[in-house]
């Protein structure tokens, strides 16, 4: 499937790229340009890592309105709604409710939260309609992005205001509380262009949970061309959620209301010095919060049995997290055969969550990075990519994450890649300093559930891969495949340090794993009106921990087909086959399932307005399947949507 509509402005803003030498042809070519593998804009055949691109056509055809669902279109990814309005996302195993081994970026802004390493998918101030494309680096990429780029990078690139001029309103409504409305307006005045988006989304996930949510957000982006060589981008956004969650009859998960929210400001300045040189400076501030507290009435006093005294137990789960980040980046064309990107970053982040840190007011730290990536064309056919990240983390000190990749392109349409890299994941605030204790409502200590560990080391992964990227022109078939072997050590797990009662746990570098296998993505256009995307992954894990060995399905398959039978009509179908697996930590075993989604859309023009009506059916196979936990039963559901552009 050809990548469409990705123009010059997106390349300039997503990750400041080698902009002066890029044209629209680069992005519409047979092997498209990607921005996320090395911080340099590169065709897939020259990139040092495997990259899956989810473009706007795929996003629309999938029928998904929750951002994590889109990752089902990436080979080797597993996605599940967990509980408490969180999502589990894993790649080649070791998935849990926090997605803590993935670096998630939105226009170059890291959105994972420092307290638990969590990506707040449910209240990111971003509408799916405002996404231009998503680039997913399949494999470790700490050489370019540092901590948390452990198993991969998810880089979400939003639409440039020049692509969203005029008005847009869309609404959806359907079963299981699926509903929402989004409005956007964009305009320009001389060298200034902007877009403003407002959205409200409502969900009611599963029958067994009381988790109705209403999440609203506002998102503003303004781009100002200061001169022929300088550009300033400003992004301001905020979200607020009124959530209801919990489980009936569960004393430590009572049904209750939550207030959640996040806001950020991001500034990007970019200067093009000449055709081969540019530099950029970025600053952003992020703040997020969850207001969560409850009291359990008449809970049996610990220990028992038999309980002969009942008490009221109070829990304060409120939390506020923040991050401030400054990054400088320089791209240089050293000679016709060599390009270099280098830069530095400083980050300050912290958390206030007394209930998770035994009453401590706050925890904070600073990390510093120096990075560099070089692309060297030895000959017309041989390309070498080398990169390294030096990172000083507030818990683990100084680490170096190198990567070396060699690409051999024996023709413009076919290339092989061999690479080796080292990456780390530093402990989160909770893993290192978490101290959870329960008290009665009168202040009497009951038990400690989690204890800190000041001596945690960073997780470490040595990754080796062989990849192939090709275009079989007679069939119009594009292939992206890789064989991988990842050795993961010092995996952080929870150790029971109180065997007598089994109630106190502590994070420890207790596990290791060897992960090997293959994943492949095929994009085939057998007819100009038909597109097929096929993904398959086979993963095998050897570990000292049985749960880790079962944390990835042995076989994972997905397919998305798009058919345009007549002008204005579009039909699409997605098939998602996931084998048996075990979600870690709070997750459970889930049996294999096959899910089939279908979408039908009709576009037409009415009095100068562009209209689109959509009907989407999900899990049309008729059988419920379990996500993350056995009682998270995903049944057949449907919704309709209407969009208007002017």
Q: What is the pLDDT of residues 560-608, one digit of tens each?
A: 999 999 999 999 999 999 999 999 988 899 999 999 999 999 999 999 8
**More confident call, 3 vs 118:** 118
Token look-up 């056995």 returns: 630
Distance CA(132)–CA(538), nearest Å, equals 29
Other C-beta atoms lying within 10 Å of the C-beta of residue 263: 17
Other C-beta atoms lying within 10 Å of the C-beta of residue 250: 10
Q: pLDDT, tens digit, for every residue of 383-425? A: 999 999 999 999 999 999 999 999 999 999 999 999 999 999 9
Separation of CA 395 from chain center: 24
Domains: count for the chain: 1
Res. 295 pLDDT band, cuts 50 70 90: low
In a domain, 265, yes or no: yes
In a domain, 334, yes or no: yes
Distance CA(310)–CA(189), nearest Å, equals 67
What is residue 256's predicted lDDT score, i.e. its pLDDT? 77
Separation of CA 478 from chain center: 24
What is residue 205's predicted lDDT score, i.e. its pLDDT? 75
The pTM of the whole model exceeds 0.75: yes
CA nearest to 430, candidates 317, 518, 296: 317
Domain that holds residue 509: 8-645
CA nearest to 413, candidates 473, 370, 354, 489: 473
Res. 21 pLDDT band, cuts 50 70 90: very low
Query: What is the pLDDT averaged over residues 320-328?
Result: 97
Strand-pairing partners, residue 384, are 376, 406
What does the CA dihedral 51, 54, 56, 57 come to, rounded to 10 degrees? 110
In a domain, 486, yes or no: yes
Q: pLDDT, tens digit, for every residue of 43-73? A: 999 999 999 999 999 999 999 999 999 999 9
CA nearest to 457, candidates 136, 213, 147: 147
Query: What is the pLDDT averaged over residues 165-174?
Result: 96
Res. 263 pLDDT band, cuts 50 70 90: very high
In a domain, 1, yes or no: no
Other C-beta atoms lying within 10 Å of the C-beta of residue 598: 17
Res. 248 pLDDT band, cuts 50 70 90: low
Query: What is the pLDDT averaged over residues 71-95?
Result: 91
Distance CA(92)–CA(74), nearest Å, equals 11
Strand-pairing partners, residue 40, are none
**More confident call, 622 vs 455:** 455
Quick one: how many helices (H) and strands (E) in the chain? 6, 39
| pLDDT above 50: residue 240 | yes
In a domain, 23, yes or no: yes
| pLDDT above 60: residue 644 | yes
Residue 145's alpha-carbon distances to 103, 403, 425, 446, in angstroms, are 8, 12, 11, 42
Q: pLDDT, tens digit, for every residue of 417-460? A: 999 999 999 999 999 999 988 877 777 887 888 999 989 999 99
CATH of the domain at 159: 2.40.170.20
CA nearest to 213, candidates 189, 179, 236, 181: 179
In a domain, 3, yes or no: no
Percent of the chain with pLDDT over 90: 74
Res. 11 pLDDT band, cuts 50 70 90: very low
396 neighbors 433 (Cβ within 8 angstroms): no
Hey, is 69 helix, strand or coil? Answer: helix
**More confident call, 27 vs 594:** 594
In a domain, 2, yes or no: no
State the maximum Cα–Cα separation within the chain, in Å, rounded to a whole number.
81
In a domain, 133, yes or no: yes
């Amino acid at each position: 499937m050809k990548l469409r509509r990705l123009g010059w402005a997106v390349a300039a803003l997503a990750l400041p790229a080698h902009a002066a030498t890029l044209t629209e042809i680069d992005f519409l070519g047979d092997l498209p340009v990607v921005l996320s593998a090395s911080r340099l804009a590169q065709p897939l055949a020259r990139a040092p890592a495997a990259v899956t691109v989810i473009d706007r056509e795929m996003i629309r055809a999938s029928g998904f309105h929750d951002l994590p669902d889109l990752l089902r279109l990436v080979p080797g990814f597993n996605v599940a709604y967990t509980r408490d309005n969180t999502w589990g996302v894993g790649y080649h195993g070791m998935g849990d409710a926090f997605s803590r081994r993935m670096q998630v970026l939105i226009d170059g802004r890291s959105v994972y939260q420092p307290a638990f390493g969590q990506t707040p998918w449910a209240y990111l101030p971003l509408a799916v309609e405002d996404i231009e494309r998503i680039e997913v680096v399949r494999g470790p990429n700490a050489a370019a992005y540092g901590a948390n780029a452990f198993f991969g990078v998810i880089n979400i690139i939003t639409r440039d205001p020049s692509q969203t001029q005029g008005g847009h309103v869309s609404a959806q409504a359907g079963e299981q509380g699926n509903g929402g409305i989004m409005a956007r307006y964009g305009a320009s005045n001389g060298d200034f262009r902007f877009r403003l988006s407002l959205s409200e989304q409502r969900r009611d996930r599963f029958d067994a949970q009381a988790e109705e949510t209403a999440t609203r957000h506002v998102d503003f982006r303004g781009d100002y061309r200061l001169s022929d060589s300088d550009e300033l981008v400003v992004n301001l956004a905020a979200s607020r959620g009124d959530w209801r969650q919990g489980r009936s009859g569960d004393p430590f998960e009572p049904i209750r209301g939550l207030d959640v929210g996040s806001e950020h400001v991001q500034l990007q300045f970019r200067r093009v010095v000449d055709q081969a040189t540019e530099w950029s400076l970025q600053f952003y501030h992020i703040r997020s919060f969850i207001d969560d507290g409850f009291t359990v009435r008449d809970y049996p006093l610990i220990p028992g049995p038999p309980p002969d005294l009942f008490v009221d137990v109070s829990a304060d789960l409120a939390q506020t997290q923040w991050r401030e980040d400054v990054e400088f980046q320089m791209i240089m064309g050293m000679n016709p055969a060599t390009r270099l990107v280098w830069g530095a970053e400083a980050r300050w982040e912290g958390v206030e969550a007394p209930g998770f840190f035994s009453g401590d007011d706050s925890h904070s730290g600073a990390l510093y990075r120096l990075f560099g990536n070089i692309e060297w064309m030895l000959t017309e056919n041989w390309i070498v990519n080398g990169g390294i990240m030096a990172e000083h983390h507030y818990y683990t000190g100084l680490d170096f994450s190198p990567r070396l990749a060699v690409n051999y392109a024996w023709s413009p349409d076919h290339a092989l890649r061999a690479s080796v890299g080292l990456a780390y994941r530093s402990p989160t605030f909770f893993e290192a300093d978490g101290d959870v204790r329960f008290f009665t409502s009168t202040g009497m200590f009951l038990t400690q559930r989690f204890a800190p560990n000041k001596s945690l080391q960073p997780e470490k992964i040595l990754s080796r891969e062989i990849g192939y990227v090709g275009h079989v022109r007679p069939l119009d078939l594009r292939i992206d495949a890789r064989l991988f072997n990842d050795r993961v050590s010092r995996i952080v797990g929870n150790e029971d340090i109180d065997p007598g009662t089994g109630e106190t746990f502590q994070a420890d570098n207790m596990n290791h794993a060897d992960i090997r296998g293959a994943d492949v993505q095929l994009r085939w256009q057998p007819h100009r009106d038909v597109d097929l995307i096929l993904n398959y992954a086979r993963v095998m894990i050897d570990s000292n921990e049985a749960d880790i060995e079962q944390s990835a399905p042995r076989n994972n398959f997905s397919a998305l087909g798009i058919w345009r039978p007549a002008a204005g009509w579009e039909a699409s179908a997605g098939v998602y086959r996931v084998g048996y697996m075990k979600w870690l930590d709070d997750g459970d075993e889930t049996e294999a399932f096959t899910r089939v989604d279908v979408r039908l859309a009709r576009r037409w023009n009415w009095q100068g307005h562009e209209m689109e009506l959509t009907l989407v059916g999900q899990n049309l196979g008729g059988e419920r399947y379990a996500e993350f936990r056995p009682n998270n039963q995903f049944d057949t559901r449907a919704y309709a949507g209407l969009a208007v552009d002017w």
